[in-house]
Amino acid sequence: MPERIVSSEYSEVMQKSYIDYAMSVISARAVPDVRDGLKPVQRRVLYAMAQLGLRSDRPHRKSARIVGDTMGKYHPHGDSSIYETLVVLEQDFKKEMPLVDGHGNFGSIEGDGAAAMRYTEARLQKFTQDVYLADLDKDVVDFVPNFDETEQEPSVLPVRIPNLLVNGSEGIAVGMTTSIPTHNLNEVVDAMIACMKKRSISTQELMEYVQGPDFPTGGIVINKSELLSIYESGVGKIKLRGKIELEPAKRKSDRDKLVITEIPYTMIGANIGKFILDVCDLVETKKTQDIVDISNESSKEGMRIVIELKKGSDPEKVKNMLYRKTRLEDTFGVNMLAIVDGKPETLGLKDILTHCINFQYEINHRKYTTLLNKDLEQKEIKEGLIQACDIIDLIIEIIRGSQQISQAKRCLTSGDITDIRFRNPGSAQAAQELCFTQKQAQAILDMRLKSLQGLEEEKLQNEYDELKKKIDYFNQILSDEGLLRRVLRDELVAKIGRAS
Q: Rounded distance, CA 255 to CA 68, Å?
A: 54
DSSP 93: T
What is the pairing mode between strands 329-335 and 235-241?
antiparallel
Residue 192 is which amino acid? M
Cβ 133 vs Cβ 46: under 8 Å: yes
Residues 21, 47, 119, 132: which is the catalytic one? 119
Tell how far CA 106 is from the center of its chain.
Answer: 21
Closest C-alpha to 477, from 356, 380, 375, 369:
369
Question: Torsion over CA of 271, 272, 273 and 279, rounded to 10 degrees?
Answer: 100
Q: What is the 3-state secondary structure (H, E, C) of 419-478?
A: CCCCCCHHHHHHHCCCCCCHHHHHHHHHCCHHHHCCHHHHHHHHHHHHHHHHHHHHHHHH
Q: Rounded distance, CA 165 to CA 182, Å?
A: 6
Cβ 358 vs Cβ 135: under 8 Å: no
Residue 119 a catalytic site member: yes
DSSP 308: E
Residues belonging to the active site: 119
